[in-house]
Amino acid sequence: MIGQKQPFKRGLYNMSDRVFRRVPVNIEAEIISCRSSYPAFIRNVSEYGILVKVANIEPAKISNCEIELDLKFQLPSGETVNLFGRKKWAYKNTSNSFIENIGVEIIDPPDKYKDFYKVLSHL
């Protein structure tokens, strides 16, 4: 398939194929999914997407849950950002892993988040 993007295969994805630039971060957050709340860390952000790592006290299970989720975190200013998102993918390193990686598409990001991303992307 010359000239066409290949489907995503973990470990084989070309970072230059991303639509939006990702900025690495390490921000404490809370993810709400499956009617439960989990502590999480945001590992990178883009204009419309976030990579979240979730560590559970039991083997990770968010990948088996609903697609929509809420994500809350604080900006360096202390303001709280509440995002509504859609899980695009999720994987665990092993079947009994307590760490889960989740790719989140942000639906209608608030201006507070857009401004935060603009500042980060120009650093």
67 pLDDT tier (thresholds 50, 70, 90): confident
Query: How do strand 49-55 and strand 23-33 relate by DSSP bridges?
Result: unpaired
What is the tens place of the pLDDT at every residue in 16-51?
Answer: 555 668 899 999 999 998 788 889 999 999 999 999
> Which residues pair with residue 100 across a beta bridge?
54, 92
pLDDT category, 80, cuts 50, 70, 90? very high
pLDDT > 60? residue 79: yes
User: What pLDDT, on a 0 to 100 scale, did the predictor assign at position 61?
Assistant: 59
Task: Say how many C-beta atoms besides its own lie within 10 A of residue 70's C-beta.
Answer: 13
Fold of 18-121: Thrombin, subunit H (2.40.10)
Residue 76 to residue 78: CA distance in whole angstroms:
5
Q: How far apart are CA 123 and CA 37, in angstroms?
A: 32
- Give the pLDDT score at 64: 62
